[in-house]
Structure 1
Amino acid sequence: MNSDLTTPTAPAATTAPGSGPPANNLFPIFLKLENMRVLLVGGGNVGLEKLGAILRNSPATAVTVVAPHIRPELRELAARHPKVQLHQRPYQDSDLDGKDILFLATDDVALHRYIGSAAAARQLLTNVADTPELCDFYLSSVLQKGDLKIAISTNGKSPTIGKRLREVLAEVLPAELSNVLSQMTVIRSRLQGDFTQKVKSLNAVTAELANGPAYETPATTYWRRVATGALATFAFFIVLNILSYYFTWQQVWDVARSSGTFYTFVAVGFIAQLVDGMLGMGYGVVSAISLMSLGLSPVSVSASIHTAEMFASGASGYHHYRFGNVNKRLFRVLLLPGIAGSIGGAYLLSRFGEEYANYVKPLLAAYLLILGIRIISKAVRKQREKRRKVKNAGWLAGAGGFLDSFGGGGWGPLVTSTLITNGRTPRYVIGTVSLVEFFVTFASAFTFFAMKGLSHWQIVAGLIVGGVAAAPLAARLAGRLPTRWMFVGVGLMVIVWSLWALRKLL
């Protein structure tokens, strides 16, 4: 079993003496620590941390712990590992006999220097807590996905940075990587032919891993485009056939020739989707404010936005997925509860009327106003809060879907802002929530259409054209904007949405 005892990362490039800042010249290595004998001097908090790191990576390692005082938590940890021996007494030089690796984890600097000198004389590798200059090796921040282990080293400068990078990689790398490694082992064992043929076969199998998820062979790209074009053409004719039952070509031509009205709706849809795709929320807010200012009735605005948002969110979700902004695990958690909540909200609103939605909006708006202020305060602080696990994310998605249909909006502000407030990376939250939003709005629009029918198609058409045009630009910007400015944008959008919903009460 490979251990992550010493796994500093190798420098990207070495630096010649006198030509620049010193490089990280540590040599990365994974040790089979279970074949070695380890001495740990110290039984306090730091000693507990060191012992936990050792046993977490190599549970069967023989570790001898020596300390005048030993914490109860360390005793409990040692009790679960038979090869860990505890000696509650001061350090003795004889403790170094027969040992291969040494960890010093006390608060006595003089004792560390004394033991370090004795260990150097015996050529023992030594790690000294909080004293990089006395260390022969550093403990790294380790990310594990099954058989895959990634170790991060900051050359002893900042363990906190190493932990932050580990959190980022844990968010990006999928858990399925462990299955990939297992499958590659099977594939390698089944390859036939000489060495050259095996290399060609492995290149074909691993092309997507080497070039990224967007990589395709030319033949695959060709047939994918053919299939996509055929499906798009088929869908276009189906939609055209359905619309022909409701509208004539003369009506469509009259709208296109109208004095700027249609293009105004296109501009509203473009701006609304640009904001929503970048921040994960705001389509309903921007559209509603803009259309209301044009003198349209609230009923027309609500019906048009819910129908058009289905197309805009579909385009946005596709481009977020294409640019790698989607967390698949979070997507699975949010999808079904969001759809269920959306259908329930649309059904109740269609069945019992819109007057009940007015009781829900103020409560949501008050909650989001506080949340928006908190998000902005997080952005202006120099250090972000520790990431917290999002509990009951399914219930959150269900509530967001219900409020979006029943209250006229709220999916993005509620779900996106709550996840970001809990420390989730804004880029992946926005991309994932935008993709799920397509299915949520589709379920809502389908329910409304089944119970109320289609109306106000001129507004819908303009919003769709503008939203679809803005989707790829918004998705690309969501991955390029600095994280702090994305926090500010999300916070301001939440506050605007809250104040807009509270306008009647205020």
Structure 2
Amino acid sequence: MDSNFPNPAGPAVAPPPPDTASPANNLFPIFLKLENMRVLLVGGGNVGLEKLGAILRNSPATAVTVVAPHILPELRELAARHPKVQLLQRPYQDRDLDDKDLLFLATDDVALHRYICAAAAARQLLTNVADTPELCDFYLSSVLQKGDLKIAISTNGKSPTVGKRLREVLAEVLPAELASVLGQMTIIRSRLQGDFAKKVKSLNAVTAELAHGPAYETPATAYWRRVATASLMTFAAFIVLNILSYYFTWQQAWDVARSSGTFYTFVAVGFLAQMVDGMLGMGYGVVSAISLMSLGLSPVSVSASIHTAEVFASGASGYNHYRFGNVNKRLFRVLLLPGIVGSVSGALLLAHFGETYAGYIKPILAVYLLILGVRIIAKAFQKVAKKRKKVKNAGWLAGAGGFLDSFGGGGWGPLVTSTLITNGRTPRYVIGTVSLVEFFVTFASAFTFFTILGISHWQIVLGLIVGGVAAAPIAAKLAGRLPTRWMFVGVGLMVIVWSLWALRKLL
């Protein structure tokens, strides 16, 4: 809560000279212990309900007296849940100001507001008047709270809508672990040893999570995560090399690397496909399929190679998105299991029925995504941001995306990413989260295909893996740096390209 009521005692020291370059908002931000005060609210309509809700959300035990000739049933229900709220259904009287510390005016009578403001000023009461900034002694802020952290945003009474929008942005950006970190800070501070400079350095290291995300929880955790990751990668490489040694000699591998640039062409295709997919959350299958087919490879070898290589590329992409803080953990949990179930189901059905029935589904999906692509590009150039819609069936969306990706030969990124972004979700976190889930979805699909059909075309797979893994950290870093508008445009264009590619036989 902000207040511009003057301090009658005056400053304790001489004030600094005025800063001519200071911003126009000269409000002094404070946080009040409102539960120790007596509050009067005049007005029982929708605005009064909004004011009372703001008071009780932040300070539920505040003693509030509501005076109004007419009181909404919703306001009565809210008051019934708070014993210290008193309702007086009658017109305002001057004696209502007695023994009050704070005053809120929320009626539609401007003349009454001015009259009460004059009476309140005579008693030195701080007053907030709805929709009349010039009569206010203080403004209500747009408040974001995560545990013990509370952030108040003031627009100097100019635009509460802007304050609410900024609050939504901060709620999305600040990590979910923030509340637990603050809850542990008291314990951490009591255990720190050394001089002041050393304590500050230690606290900065601990709170690095707030700036960089969950990958920087503590220095010790970050160190052991790197050790575990390196050990896992070493172990995986050892297994892969041992398996390959049963089928291929070192001379054969060297001959492939030297053979007329073909292997390096596959590397370049994998790099380009992963750059597009990592930045936009989709496009790996489209870019790699178009590129490989243009080299004269058969559709069967292209499809098998892409599904196998995408496991490694999506794993590297998801890890780097998590590392750079592009993942929304709550959305990740919602998408994970349905996506895996849909992927395995699609792979089993495709292996049983073949590609005939998959050809019927893909055109329908392509038409749907073509419409979504146009909407996403239009959304990028909207001047007024629309309110974000809640995604009610994200689990079903993930299940459908996983099924179509396996059964239809692609569609996880275009369907899931574009639908979530169209509903107003932040592109950076949608792309990062969907990319991380894609690893598990692709792994489930590839494992199912491998169990049933086996693996082939290892030269193409190896080139795509090398290029995709190399591009993953670069793409994930860029996904967090690109302007939101151009991310919308990129996603929209990629969705349209994917749709036209899927519809190419019909067109």
Asked if these proteins are the same fold (TM beyond 0.5), I'd say yes
Alignment correspondent of 1:433: 434
CA change 1:461–1:160 in 2 (3 A) is: same
Stretch deviating more after TM superposition (164-173 or 204-213): 204-213
- 1:109 deviation in Å? 2.6
Alignment correspondent of 1:496: 497
Stretch deviating more after TM superposition (291-300 or 209-218): 209-218
Equivalent positions of 1:338-349 (< 5 A) are 338-349=339-350
Alignment correspondent of 1:34: 35
Distance 2:211 2:172 in 1: 20
2:68 is equivalent to residue 67 of structure 1: yes
Alignment correspondent of 2:371: 370
Distance 1:339 1:399 in 2: 10
- 1:201 deviation in Å? 11
Q: Counterpart of 1:160 in structure 2: which amino acid?
A: T
Stretch deviating more after TM superposition (442-451 or 64-73): 64-73
Alignment correspondent of 1:87: 88
TM-score, scaled to structure 1 = 0.90
The two structures, once aligned, show a CA RMSD in angstroms of 2.8
Alignment correspondent of 2:57: 56
Alignment correspondent of 1:111: 112
CA change 1:477–1:84 in 2 (3 A) is: same
Distance 2:342 2:126 in 1: 59
> What whole-Å deviation, never above 9, does each CA across 1:329-353 have from its counterpart, x for those lacking one?
2112212221222122112212221
Alignment correspondent of 1:11: none
Alignment correspondent of 1:123: 124
- 1:124 deviation in Å? 0.4
Q: Counterpart of 1:413 in structure 2: which amino acid?
A: P
Alignment correspondent of 2:271: 270
Secondary structure class of the residue paired with 1:150: strand
Alignment correspondent of 2:247: 246
> What whole-Å deviation, never above 9, does each CA across 1:18-64 have from its counterpart, x for those lacking one?
73353433222222212211111222221111111112222222222
CA change 1:78–1:211 in 2 (3 A) is: closer
CA change 1:89–1:231 in 2 (3 A) is: closer
Alignment correspondent of 1:206: 206
Alignment correspondent of 2:10: none
CA change 1:193–1:312 in 2 (3 A) is: closer
Alignment correspondent of 2:11: none
Secondary structure class of the residue paired with 2:386: coil
Query: Which runs of 5 or more residues in structure 2 are unaligned?
Result: 5-14
Alignment correspondent of 1:421: 422
Stretch deviating more after TM superposition (338-347 or 412-421): 338-347
- 1:303 deviation in Å? 0.6
Equivalent positions of 1:294-305 (< 5 A) are 294-305=295-306
Alignment correspondent of 2:164: 163
- 1:358 deviation in Å? 1.0
CA change 1:435–1:194 in 2 (3 A) is: closer
CA change 1:175–1:229 in 2 (3 A) is: closer
Distance 2:35 2:225 in 1: 50
Q: Counterpart of 2:360 in structure 1: which amino acid?
A: Y
Does the CA-based 8 Å contact 1:15-1:21 persist in structure 2?
no
CA change 1:225–1:92 in 2 (3 A) is: closer
Distance 1:280 1:193 in 2: 46
Distance 2:17 2:187 in 1: 43
CA change 1:383–1:204 in 2 (3 A) is: closer
2:367 is equivalent to residue 396 of structure 1: no
> What whole-Å deviation, never above 9, does each CA across 1:63-97 have from its counterpart, x for those lacking one?
22222333332233223333323333332222211
2:413 is equivalent to residue 412 of structure 1: yes
Distance 1:285 1:496 in 2: 8
Alignment correspondent of 2:316: 315
Alignment correspondent of 1:474: 475
- 1:176 deviation in Å? 3.7
CA change 1:227–1:181 in 2 (3 A) is: closer
- 1:426 deviation in Å? 0.5
Secondary structure class of the residue paired with 1:354: coil
Stretch deviating more after TM superposition (374-383 or 142-151): 142-151
Alignment correspondent of 1:285: 286
Distance 1:201 1:253 in 2: 50
- 1:496 deviation in Å? 1.4
- 1:215 deviation in Å? 4.8
Q: How many residues align?
A: 496
Stretch deviating more after TM superposition (400-409 or 204-213): 204-213
Does the CA-based 8 Å contact 1:41-1:91 persist in structure 2?
yes
- 1:117 deviation in Å? 1.8
Secondary structure class of the residue paired with 2:436: helix
Stretch deviating more after TM superposition (165-174 or 80-89): 80-89
> What whole-Å deviation, never above 9, does each CA across 1:364-387 have from its counterpart, x for those lacking one?
112212211221221111122111
Distance 1:94 1:389 in 2: 46
Distance 1:284 1:212 in 2: 31
- 1:438 deviation in Å? 1.2
Equivalent positions of 1:346-361 (< 5 A) are 346-361=347-362
Distance 2:3 2:455 in 1: 62
Q: Counterpart of 1:206 in structure 2: which amino acid?
A: V
- 1:15 deviation in Å? 11
CA change 1:331–1:60 in 2 (3 A) is: same
CA change 1:193–1:457 in 2 (3 A) is: closer
Q: Counterpart of 1:103 in structure 2: which amino acid?
A: F
Distance 1:249 1:130 in 2: 78
Stretch deviating more after TM superposition (264-273 or 24-33): 24-33
Does the CA-based 8 Å contact 1:15-1:22 persist in structure 2?
no
- 1:141 deviation in Å? 1.0
Stretch deviating more after TM superposition (25-34 or 424-433): 25-34
Q: Counterpart of 1:263 in structure 2: which amino acid?
A: Y
Equivalent positions of 1:129-148 (< 5 A) are 129-148=130-149
Secondary structure class of the residue paired with 2:278: helix
Q: How many percent of aligned residue pairs carry the same amino acid?
A: 84
Query: Which runs of 5 or more residues in structure 1 are unaligned?
Result: 9-13
